[in-house]
Amino acid sequence: MGERTNPDSSPAQRAEQLRAELRRHEHLYYVLDAPEISDAEYDAQMNELKAIEAAHPELLTPDSPTQRVGGKPAEGFRKVAHSRPMLSLDNAYSEKDLADWNSRVCGLAGQPDVPYFAEYKMDGLSVALRYELDENSGDSRLTTAITRGDGQIGEDVTSNIRTVKSVPLTISATQRKTANTPPEFEVRGEVVMQKNAFARLNEEREQQGLALAVNPRNAAAGVLRTLDPVIVNKRRLFFYAYYLIDGGEYSLSSESATLKALVALGFRTVLGRPVIIPTQQPYFPPTVEMMMNFINFAETQRDGLNFEIDGAVFKVDSRQIQHRLGYTGRAPRWAIAYKFTARSGITQVNAITVQVGRTGKLTPVAELTPIFIGGTTVSRATLHNADFIERLGLKLGDWVKVERGGDVIPKVVEVIEDADHTRGGQPFVFPSLCPECQSAVVRAEGEVDFRCVNADCPAKLRESLLHFASRTVMNIEGLGEAVVQQLLDRKLVKSVADLYSLKKEDLVALDRFADKSAESLLEEIDQSKKAGLARVLMGLGIRFVGERTAVLLAEEFGSIEALQAASAEGLERVEEVGPRISQAILEFFADIENRDLVKRLADAGVNMTAEKRLRSAQLAGLTFVLTGTLPTLTRDEAKAKIEAAGGKTAGSVSKKTSYVVAGEEAGSKLDKARELKVPVLDEAGLLALLEASPGPD
């Protein structure tokens, strides 16, 4: 129970007493699920504190519970760079996928088994919370909250996150000492809308005659990006913490130590509560069998949880081994997300429509009788291509099995034919003309996809603009489908380069645009000029050039001019670029319209350069395999030095391996090297080999 008022206490003493009590009750209710007082008693204490602060404004503090919601709605969200990238995780869908990942981890770590840390994969929104030292009190205060955004840059949603009562506004020096945490740090985790809150939201929307929210994750995303914190507070979002970062690096020695620290700091965590996992101890599955046991347990608990999960995450527990394993271009090698088996349902195909993508690819889509699958109402599902429809033998009116798993687009997987589900009668004929522009469609020899060959097809342009503006490409916030369609309808843009010629008067003439929104979009477009070569390459829509390839090309060539001038041989020297990708790049830049597009982007001031990864040719043609722990170099540092000198690194030893670089606790790779008589170097030998290099040209 809360403490009663002491008639002899001063307003300052009573205010501080109430603040401490309210924070304690918020932690009990929103973090530990163990409330001690009723809502009415909590409200009475809150109202008493509000009255004291109103009568004595000098007593008001920024972290007071009364200040979780305050101020007028924001006019927009400023963009903030992350202290370190918020990366994605690689996915596993089967026991074999897990076994393969486990083998890679053990091989790279150079030891027969590696302890893992397991947790539920929450279906929420990633957010980073920054805490800074308050010099007056010695406490750490929440200063900034940033959404994941494109992984490099997110949006400042601090005013909204302050309303989330499972987020501590202040963390005391005592808590920091217990958690072994410095005064300034960052906590990362997931913002979720619980299932009961989601149900209430849809009840309200139904009463108001509004479209129902699709699922809790989308609803939480919409709420978090609401400009009015009062509305955010009403929706009662929750924050679950899983990472602790100090100085841009993951802190503490292990994932399990991080969990204990986050609990000590007052955060709600997935594994910190016995209602989620049968024991309060972290779970270390050292075998694939035990990982599958954890996954099966999670699936049995899934429907009983008050938040959505779509799988399990496994992380190498040891931070030292994590450093040794390092990262790929998009994900850590030391973690993997296992996605639950797709949920499915049976429904009827009412029609088949064809969508045109930015490359001109035609994709058939089944229009379905709506069906609820895995928390979402599904009314459309992909049919991939004409060959897929033919293999299924699909006809209009057929009953089909539809699957949906995680963020995967719903897909038709089979036609149902039994006594309860009669077959349809009308076969689907793939169109010979583009449904958008009525131009001829073609299918190149050896390809399964039909494509529209009209360079001016409006659908291709629409999808190209949306792709160009997306978060992982040029990150132009506010350039969504409705705005793009209006720009096309009014013939304000005919290519992505035209975005940089838009003026304020062009935008204010669009529906739902005023001076402020027009200025905001123009500022976003201007900011996108700084994105750099890798993102521009993704935005150009060159076939087969995705995020990873774009980064490798940018690092290799350093400028769009150098890339345009490259030969097939020069392109194929780039890691992961083979004949198919090099041919696609050559064909793209051979087209006069594409070269003109690049020139227009350059003339508009779009940055198409990157920091070039300098290489020498000293180790050209040599392949190295790293194993064990080196005395001073991490695995990523050794790999970078080898590649900078023109060499390549591989994950396994073969007859083609030039050298194996072995450190302490080198495992089976060292044995394999000896068996194949591959030369073995220690760190000193590697450095000596590198020092013999004349350096980059």
Residues 6+ apart with CB under 8 A from 560: 533, 536, 598, 602, 608, 609
pLDDT of the residue at 400:
96
Name every residue whose Cβ is closer than 8 Å to that of residue 386 and which is 6 or more positions away in sequence.
Answer: 364, 430, 448, 450
- What pLDDT is recorded for position 333? 92
pLDDT at 69: 59
3-state helix, strand, coil in the chain (%, to 5): 40, 20, 40
- Dump pLDDT digits (tens) for 222-260: 888 887 788 888 888 999 999 999 877 888 888 888 999
Which of 1.10.1740.10, 1.10.150.20, 3.40.50.10860, 1.20.1600.10 would CATH assign to domain 533-603? 1.10.150.20
* CA 224 to chain CA mean position, Å: 16
Query: pLDDT at residue 615 above 70?
Result: no
Give the separation between CA 682 and CA 631, rounded to whole angstroms: 9
The residues near 602 (Cβ < 8 Å, ≥ 6 apart) are: 560, 608
Residue 272 has pLDDT above 50, yes or no: no
Report d(CA 239, CA 160) in Å as an integer. Answer: 12
User: Is the pLDDT reported for residue 285 higher than 80?
Assistant: no
Catalytic residue among 72, 79, 121, 401: 121
Cα separation, 141 vs 508, in Å, equals 40
| Single-letter amino acid, residue 643 | E
Same CATH fold assignment for domains 458-530 and 533-603: yes
CATH code of domain 11-67? 1.10.287.610
| % of the chain residues with pLDDT over 70 | 91
Q: d(Cα 365, Cα 351) in Å, to the nearest integer?
A: 8
Tokens of 549: 């390839």
What confidence score (pLDDT) does residue 75 get?
A: 56
Mean pLDDT of 202-216: 76
Q: How far apart are CA 166 and CA 272, in angstroms?
A: 14
The pLDDT assigned to 569 comes to 87
CATH 3.40.50.10190 fits 623-691, yes or no: yes
Q: What is d(CA 687, CA 322) in angstroms, rounded to the nearest whole number?
A: 23
Residues 6+ apart with CB under 8 A from 31: 166, 266, 267, 268
Structural tokens at position 462: 């629409």
Alpha-helix runs per DSSP H in 10-124: 11-30, 39-55, 95-109
- For the stretch 145-174, pLDDT in tens is 999 887 888 889 999 999 999 999 999 999
516 in catalytic set: no
pLDDT digits (tens, 9 = 90+) for 618-655: 787 788 999 888 888 888 788 878 877 878 888 788 88
pLDDT digits (tens, 9 = 90+) for 288-339: 888 888 888 888 888 888 888 888 999 998 899 998 888 876 789 999 999 8
Share of residues in the chain with pLDDT > 90 (%): 42
Any idea where the domains of the chain sit in the sequence? 11-67, 90-339, 343-442, 458-530, 533-603, 623-691
d(CA 557, CA 135): 47
Q: What is the mean pLDDT of the chain?
A: 85
24 pLDDT exceeds 70? yes
CATH of domain 458-530: 1.10.150.20
Q: Which residue has the higher pLDDT, 280 or 207?
A: 207
- 405 near 374, Cβ under 8 Å? yes
Instruction: Report pLDDT digits (tens) over 167-184.
Output: 999 999 999 999 999 999
Query: Whose structure tokens read 């049968």?
Result: 278
The whole model's pTM is what?
A: 0.63
Q: Is 658 exposed, middle or buried (0-12, 13-18, 19+ CB in 10 A)?
A: middle
The domain covering 343-442 belongs, at the CATH homologous superfamily level, to Nucleic acid-binding proteins (2.40.50.140)
Dihedral pair phi/psi, residue 446, rounded to 5°:
90, 0
Strand partners of residue 381? 366
Under CATH, what is the fold of the domain 90-339? D-amino Acid Aminotransferase; Chain A, domain 1 (3.30.470)
β-sheet bridge partners, residue 311 = 121, 339
Q: How far apart are CA 259 and CA 519, in angstroms?
A: 44
Question: What per-residue confidence (pLDDT) applies to 276?
Answer: 32
Collapsing DSSP to helix, strand or coil, 638 comes out as: helix
Distance CA 282, CA 412 (A): 39
Q: What is the pLDDT of residue 31?
A: 59
116-122 and 309-316 beta bridge pairing = antiparallel
Highest mean pLDDT (candidates 10-14, 446-450, 519-523):
519-523
